[in-house]
Amino acid sequence: MKPQTSVPLSSIALVVGAAACFSTLDAIIKSLAASYPIALLVFARWAVQTLALVAWLGPQMRGKLFATRHLRVQLVRGVALIGSSILFMTALKYLPLAEATALNYSTPVMVTILAAMFLQEKLTRASLTFVAAGVVGVLMIVRPGTSVFQAAALLAIGSAVCYSVYQVLTRTVARDDPRVSLFYPALVGTLIASLALPLIAMPHDVAWTDMARLVAGALVGTCGHFMFVLAFRRGVVSALTPFTYFQIVFATLIGWLAFGSFPDAFALSGMAVIALSGLFITLRRQQRRARVAPTEPAPPEPTAVE
């Protein structure tokens, strides 16, 4: 069978639209993080997505929405994702939107390292080069030892580590229905965040406009996930991956327009290095997977999300 080489414009539009959705959600979270507990923001974000998935998938899948051969792994994936969300939302409270997003896009570098450690994937010379480049890009943004350094940058890096664990585990559940793999992390995240709510000091007065923004942001993020699923069903993963990096572009523009924060030349260079290294690592991994197991579907997951 001849491999698909063309990429539908609709798939490209869906990926770019999803990147815009995630950046919009991140901007809303950043605007609310100074006034509300992170646990509340995390709960609302994933509770809305869980309800949306149940409404969308429940009528057609029913009990099959919970059907998995890897229940423990799916649950651990959810814990890793919720950890990533908590760390990233906390980082957004203190870091500019563009820098936080770029640091989160160091995930492919960390996935490469973790896959070599735990999945016995071979590290080639090219992979090591791209990993080293990604680390350099992170250092160009963080710049430890200078006045630019903020400890919150470590939160964004920790978020990327958690998300890389999530992606590595996603590979082990590749034979599960992608819709099930989309549902479990949202459900686990909602449950964990709900357990944390009684332990935090809840605000006495929540402005209805803030609540509306939070729910709207969660719905926008959920739409982003749906758009990714649809895009990767219709298009070749390796061809669509470059367009996921539009999220860094959107984050930079929104951060500039909404918060008056624009990265300096050093940070912009670091963001470009991270994007290029992550892109090459992801594309090489997908090409290698296609050669080894061309019939195995790749999970419809973006390189990085909030």
The CA-based angle 252-285-241, given to 5 degrees, is 35
What would the two tokens of residue 116 be? 């070599």
pLDDT at 303: 63
pLDDT of residue 21: 95
Question: Euclidean distance between the first and final Cα of the chain, in Å?
Answer: 37
- State both tokens at 98: 């563009």
How far is residue 60's CA from residue 25's CA, in Å, rounded to a whole number? Answer: 28
Residues contacting 108, CB < 8 A, separation 6+: 134, 164, 277, 278, 279, 281, 282, 285, 303
Q: Which pLDDT value is given to residue 304?
A: 61
CA distance 184 to 180: 6
Residue in the block written with tokens 């999300």: 305
* pLDDT at position 298: 52
Confidence at residue 2, expressed as pLDDT on a 0 to 100 scale: 44
pLDDT value at residue 1: 41
DSSP labels for 1-39?
A: -PPP----HHHHHHHHHHHHHHHHHHHHHHHHHTTS-HH
- Asked whether 70 and 220 are in contact (CB, 8 A), the reply is no
Both tokens of 89, joined, read 């939302």
Instruction: Report, as ranges of residue numbers, the positions in the chain whose pLDDT lies below 70.
Output: 1-7, 147-148, 234-238, 289-306
Could you read off the pLDDT of 194-242 as tens digits, one per residue? 998 888 877 778 889 999 999 999 999 989 888 887 887 766 666 777 8
Q: What pLDDT is attached to residue 147?
A: 67
Contacts of 59 (CB under 8 A, 6+ apart): none
